[in-house]
Structure 1
Amino acid sequence: EFWTIDARLLKRGGTSFEASLVSINGDRKKPEITDEKSATDIVSDLEGGSFRVSGFETKETRRRPAAPFITSSLQQEASRRLRFSASRTMTLAQQLYEGIEIVGSEQVGLITYMRTDSTSVSASALSETADYVKQKFGSTYCPEKPRQYSRKVQGAQEAHEAVRPTSVFRTPESLRANLERDQYRLYDLIWKRMVASQMVDALYDRTVIDSEIKGVSSDIPYIFRATGSVPKFDGFRILYTEGRDDVSGEEDEERGLPQLKVGEPLLCNGIESEQNFSQPPPRFTEATLIKNLENEGIGRPSTYASIIGTIQDRDYVRRDRGRFIPTKLGLVVTEFLTEYFRDIMDIGFTADMEKRLDEIAEGLIKWNPMLLEFFEPFDTSIGAAKEKAKRVERSRLDEESDQVCEQCERPMVIRGGRNGRFIACTGFPDCKNTKPLTIGVGCPECKIGELAERKSKRGIFFGCTNYPNCKFAVNSKPMTQPCPDCSGLLIQGRGSNARCASKECGFRGQVEDGDSSGGARSDEYREVAS
């Protein structure tokens, strides 16, 4: 638990701005207010006091464009911006790399090889990009010399260029008629990233205002600080800005602050304290998981998608609001492996193995001794696990439900199977009663069945229990409340966002109980494969 104290200040006749308490009695360290009484005492001490400007500074800051894509950054950005899974991104990139038939021309490869650790770009591509920027945006947007990017990735194999368009003069708009919707969206992302990487910095005026007030009863000085930045020159941001995962609230807001002078008095529209709680690190999204794999030296550009696909296919994790949540099965498997294969479960083991395999490929070490060194302790661990490990109880894998078996009146639980999760009686094998895992939403097509969670090779979807008579299905989790515009089926988006499943309606917006399993594909409707 911690408390923050904010003041709403304004210049006489001007607009108000918010400032936060950052110092008490000259202490440079931000005050730690751990309980309500301390916060209330400070607010009481400040009531009736007068603010004055104790510091005002405005300076120019720069923001550099991001480097051209490598495999991992492409997968991360496609996840953030386009909601593509890593495997979907690589499938589309493969199509763009192999070539697309252009009207009036032969099949043309539109991007360079998409499995790469390198941010380097050929001299000819840099020259072509500079020419395009000058023609399209003017010389003020083109740097004096080409930008060079270096990328430190553990175990990087920089045999290829960055992922970029084969020609920046093939603009996304000129190819729209030749590309499928998702191909176009990914090509647009790659193209903009490459062009923006060879544009000038964006410029901002960053302002910091310190305001001092003395405690009415204590006479102790308190400092409140407001920060903001105002765009001065858009630079590369005229074309592209990089997406972010978990944005810190401490980052400067793009907001204007008034021009003030040191010593100038300020009016106060109120001082408020707010209770906060420290939060654990956020769960991984697909983008942040790939970033972590890359930072830890686990996997290769060609394996990130399969790693993420495997942990979902085996039901070790599920998505909720776009983030990975471990399942009971995943927790049990992790606990088992950590107990009997501690060395292998160590993050450093995988990274070290990748490094040693690279050394074998480069001829620096021989493969026989290296494999023997690994196999002997591994074989010992397998023997110990076979001898000591106990069979995992089914109850540790089952998820509770509120349903009771109508055949034997025993409680029913949620279990996982080849075709997805389902409801099963705890009396198995004496009672073999099972049910689909319905979500409390009726089928909008046949009006008879309910929508239930299903699993296919393409992932989890929600289909009608009246199948095969009704083949209605959606790829994202439906919501219990109807669409506010047409009363049709409402589909969860990310966070509190939702959208109507009907393309004719087209509703998109925020709803109070919105939830998301993430990873929705672009096509909302599809028939269940028979």
Structure 2
Amino acid sequence: MATSKTKSSNSLLIVESPTKVKAIKKFLGSGYEVAASNGHVRDLPRSSMGVDIEHDFEPKYITIRGKGDILAQLRKQVKKADKVYLATDPDREGEAISWHLVSALKLNEADAKVQRVTFNEITKNAVKEAMKHPRDIDMNLVDAQQARRVLDRMVGYSISPLLWNKIKRGLSAGRVQSVALRIIADREEEIDSFIPTEYWSLDVKLLPEGEKKPLIAHYYGVGNDKKEISSKEELDKICASLKGKNFVVSDVKKGERTKKAPLPFTTSTLQQEASKALNFSTQKTMRVAQQLYEGIELGKQGTVGLITYLRTDSTRVSDEAVASANEYIKNNFGDKYLAEGASTKKSEGKIQDAHEAIRPTVVDNTPVAVKEYLSRDQFRLYQLIWRRFMASRMAAAKYETTSVKIDAGEHRFTVAASKTVFDGFLNVYTDEDDKVEKNEITKKLDTNTKLSFDSFDFAQHFTQPAPHYTEASLVHDLEALGIGRPSTYAPTISTIMARHYITKENKSLFITELGQAVNKMMNDAFPQIVDVNFTSNMEALLDGIAEGTVKWKTVIENFYPDLDKAVKDAEKEMEKIQVQDEVTDEICDVCGRNMVIKYGPHGKFLACPGFPECKNTKPYFEKIGVSCPKCGKDIVMKRTRKGRIYYGCIGNPECDFMTWQKPVDKKCPKCGSIMLSKSNKLACSNQECGFVCGKDELK
């Protein structure tokens, strides 16, 4: 009897990145073709807003330029396939790309031939397991992405032209970027208006009986009441009252302190720690993490994704990964290094949840084992992720603490020391917070110990303003305030830096003159857009769309009328202002015209109005009506090479006067130094003088 040949199954799996293709093809074998879409294939057009306001805010998607050939090739492969699996990234953006692919490849979403699969890591087990659980496209996630894209487009395309009209062409406003800019601007304003307060520290060097090493005790206060020493006079008074007094140990307390292991990385904490520990920008962290996720060629192992998906706000870890880490810790460190309850398998949890913490895919791929296959940056980031994950599964560190109170008359001094008795997770992972005070305390110290006075050590200090934002601290605050999501932190910071609204010097972020101008206009004309609470609530609504509890068109319908009114009001206000280049007395030394003030990437500059015939430009030094206290010439507003504003003498380099705060044409009545403007107060530029008064108090 003749047997009929069955046609072999032919499946096509589409991923985003071509880097993943080779590894996944190897995992799935001969019955599968694997192709890449190279990211998004459709988007809103650049030439217009691309949202039909009159017809239910329907987005008008077009094929992205340059993606035609990729789509043509994918269509050919789709025709040959019995099954099409859409395996784009496991987040809202990835879900939307899959949905766009269905449309661009002329597939039928309801067709059983088309299914969605997601995997959190590029490993054989993860990919094989994902293929057993295909599903339909999650339209809640797609709609959440559509809502974000449409909202951002409405804000950008409605407000940016006003910035072009008022300030300069090429600027942009954004729903999240404008709030991030405001947060930085507010911090800069807080720093500029900060007035330092003087205080003094007082230490006493004491010699315990029978000991050669002195004991350093810090001034605490009077009895149990903590006291700050606010002036030299107060310090001298305390020192005088201590003269001839006996220093007596009044209390010694021994205790134990534990420090819990850190949680594994989320996108936000990875960006923060990579910035602090490796000096990586948020953009660089994401770029290198993407390489580790997509796969590295590891010799005989072939291409392996070294870490799980990098865009996540979850600290959850799969049971398999926990078991694997526990086994490694037991074998390499011993049972006592296991976190309490670490060997017990969790009875509950979303086993299929795509959003795990960022962790190594295989713990046996230690940083040392894979170092030869990685670039320096890849190795350093992978090592950070590997160590953090292992630490998260390890026991707490334990410290023995000693707290000593020493009394002399009515005054009290204290000594605190800490000694590690069990390193726990610190064996593999430490950060700046794990540094403990190293103060040697003899074990014999008790209430009977006699102490002899050796000397005082004191120093003047001034309170410090809040630090300038770094990329790490900005990401921390954006997350804490509920602004943006894991995928948006890095592009938000990159955008406002690329627009020259902020600049980075060392690790600190500073607002530029251009950034100040944009922020002021946004605050004046669009207070709701740059309102932190409003933006945070909008993010919560977008999360609601992803969870299926909010309709995305409803969010857009409620948002647009307020935006439209604010834009029209701002346009009316601008019609009253004749926007013209400000003409100056500076003569163009090429053609003799009066030069005008224009905005450049870092702020104002002088340009010849005869452009393009005459292209002469000069730096613009804005006089502030104050004479230099050193040489008498004009003080002008200047900018560093990166655009940070400061005030210096126009006679520079001969005169080196400079200050970050704006000087005023008034002298300090106490020491004669120049005064600085601090919000609604004036402060002496000589910090040791410390004179402060209201702006109207000095004539």
Aligned-partner Cα distance in 2 for 1:40–1:240: 45
Deviations 1:343-363 (A, max 9, x none): 221111111001112222323
1:80 & 1:405 partners in 2: Cα distance? 47
Structure-1 separation of matches of 2:608 and 2:525 = 32
Tell me if the contact between 1:115 and 1:302 (Cα under 8 Å) persists in the aligned partners: yes
Find the residue that maps to 2:529 and give its secondary structure.
Answer: helix
- Report the aligned-residue RMSD: 3.3
Q: 1:7 aligns with which of 204, 207, 220?
A: 204
Q: 1:234 to 1:359 in 2, by over 3 A?
A: same
Q: 1:232 aligns with which of 411, 418, 421?
A: 421
User: Does residue 514 of structure 2 align to residue 319 of structure 1?
Assistant: no
Q: Does structure 2 retain, via aligned residues, the 8 Å contact 1:97–1:114? A: yes
Offset at residue 5 of structure 1 (A): 2.1
List per-residue Cα deviations over 1:459-497 (Å, max 9, x = no partner): xxxxxxxxxxxxxxxxxxxxxxxxxxxxxxxxxxxxxxx
Q: Which moved more, 1:364-373 or 1:292-301?
A: 364-373
Alignment match, 1:470: none
Contact 1:422/1:435 (<8 A) preserved: no
Amino acid paired to 1:79: S
1:88-143 Cα deviation digits (max 9, x unpaired)? 11111111111111112321111111111111111111111111112112222223
Corresponding position: 1:286 with 2:475: no
Q: What CA deviation, in whole Å up to 9, does each residue of 1:304-362 have, x standing for no partner?
A: 10011011111111112211011111112111111111122111111100111222232
Closer, same or farther: CA 50–454 of 1 in aligned 2, 3 Å = closer
1:433 and 2:622 equivalent?
no
Match for 2:616: what amino acid?
Answer: N
Aligned partner of 2:356 in structure 1 is: 161
Deviates more, 1:82-91 or 1:9-18: 9-18
**Helix, strand or coil at the partner of 2:336:** helix
Q: Which residue of 1 aligns with 2:492?
A: 307
Structure 1 residues 110, 319: CA separation in 2 closer, same or farther (over 3 Å shift)? same
What is the identity, as a one-letter code, of the residue corresponding to 2:547?
E
Residues 1:37 and 2:233 are matched in the alignment: yes
1:257 counterpart letter in structure 2: I
Is this contact kept in 2: 1:415–1:423, CA < 8 A? yes
Percent identity between matched residues is 39
Q: Structure 1 residues 356, 61: closer, same or farther in 2, change over 3 A? A: same
On the 8 A contact 2:596/2:609 being kept in 1, the answer is: no
Q: Deviations over 1:374-401 (max 9, x none)?
A: 2222211112211224478878xx9xxx
User: How far did residue 454 of structure 1 move?
Assistant: 9.2
Is 2:552 aligned against 1:367?
Answer: yes
Could you say which residue in structure 2 is the equivalent of 1:298? 483
SS of 1:274's partner is strand
TM-superposed CA distance for 1:423, in Å, is 9.8
Partner residue, 1:16: 214
Measured in 1, the distance between the counterparts of 2:354 and 2:527 equals: 34
Cα distance, 1:453 vs. partner?
6.2
Residue 298 of structure 1: how far off its partner (Å)? 0.7
- Separation in structure 1 between the aligned mates of residue 250 and residue 277 of structure 2, nearest angstrom: 42
Counterpart in 2 of 1:499?
none
2:401 counterpart of 1:206: yes
Partner of 1:342, secondary structure, is coil
Q: Could you say if the C-alpha distance between residues 54 and 252 of structure 1 is closer, same or farther in structure 2, counting changes exceeding 3 Å? A: farther
Specify which of 255, 280, 284 is matched with residue 439 of structure 2.
Answer: 255
> What is the alpha-carbon distance in structure 1 between the residues aligned to residue 547 and residue 324 of structure 2?
35
Q: Unmatched 5+ residue regions in structure 2?
A: 1-197, 347-352, 621-639, 644-699
Q: Distance in 2 between matches of 1:63 and 1:70?
A: 20
Distance 1:145 1:376, change over 3 A: same
1:68 aligns with 2:252: no
3-state secondary structure, aligned to 1:343: coil
Question: Cα distance, 1:409 vs. partner?
Answer: 11
Provide closer, same or farther for how the CA distance between residues 434 and 50 of structure 1 changes in structure 2, counting only shifts above 3 A: same
Counterpart mapping for 1:420-459 below 5 A: 425=606, 429=610, 432-434=615-617
Correspondent of 2:383 among 188, 205, 227: 188
SS at match of 2:256: strand
CA spacing shift, 1:416–1:138, aligned 2, 3 Å: farther
Given residue 234 of structure 1, which amino acid in structure 2 is its aligned partner? D
CA spacing shift, 1:392–1:213, aligned 2, 3 Å: farther
Matched, 1:378 2:563: yes
The letter of the residue matching 2:488 is T
Q: Label 1:185 to 1:252 Cα distance change in 2 as closer, same or farther (>3 A).
A: closer
The 2-side partners of 1:404 and 1:52 are apart by: 77
Distance 2:498 2:231 in 1: 46
When residues 20 and 427 of structure 1 are mapped into structure 2, their CA distance, relative to the original with a 3 A threshold, is farther
Q: Which runs of 5+ in 1 are unaligned?
A: 151-157, 215-220, 438-451, 456-530
Whole-Å separation in 2 of the counterparts to 1:404 and 1:355: 55
Counterparts of 2:341 and 2:269, CA distance in 1:
24
Partner of 2:323 in structure 1? 127
In 2, the alpha carbon distance for the partners of 1:404 and 1:273 equals: 57
Count residues in correspondence. Answer: 412
3-state SS of paired residue (1:87):
helix
Q: Is the 8 A contact 2:326 2:343 kept in 1?
A: no
Q: Give the conservation status (yes or no) of the 8 Å contact 2:250–2:406.
A: yes
1:5 & 1:340 partners in 2: Cα distance?
51
Q: Which secondary structure does the structure 2 equivalent of 1:345 belong to?
A: coil
Q: 1:272: how far off? A: 3.6
SS of the aligned residue for 2:446 comes to coil
Over residues 37-76 of structure 1, what are the superposed CA-to-partner deviations in whole Å (9 max), with x where a residue is unaligned?
Answer: 2222111211232211111112111111111111111111
**Matches of 1:385 and 1:293 in 2, distance apart?**
28
Contact 1:147 1:198 (8 Å CA) reproduced = no
- Equivalent positions of 1:207-222 (< 5 A) are 207-214=402-409, 221-222=410-411
Distance 1:101 1:209, change over 3 A: same
Alpha-carbon contact 2:206-2:216 (below 8 Å) kept: yes
CA 1:386–1:362 in 2, change beyond 3 Å: closer, same or farther?
same
**CA shift at 1:264, angstroms?**
2.3
Answer whether contact 1:22 1:30 (CA < 8 A) is retained: yes
Q: Name the SS for the 2:327 alignment partner.
A: helix
Any residues of structure 2 matched to 1:135-154 within 5 Å, and which?
135-146=331-342
Matched position secondary structure for 2:510: strand
**2:525 corresponds to which residue?**
340
- Distance change >3 Å, CA 391–CA 88, structure 1 → 2: farther
TM-score, L = length of structure 1 = 0.71
**How far apart in 2 are the matches of 1:143 and 1:299?**
33
Greater per-residue helix proportion: 2
Tell me, what secondary structure is at the counterpart of 1:364? coil
> What secondary structure sits across from 2:544 in the alignment?
helix
Distance 1:122 1:361, change over 3 A: closer
Is 1:53 paired with 2:249? yes
1:84 to 277, 280, 283: 280
Please say if residues 360 and 366 of structure 1, whose CA atoms lie closer than 8 Å, have aligned partners that are also in contact. yes
**SS of residue paired to 2:451:** strand
Can you list the C-alpha shifts for 1:392-442, whole angstroms capped at 9, x where unaligned?
A: 8878xx9xxxx998768999999874xx659954665587434799xxxxx
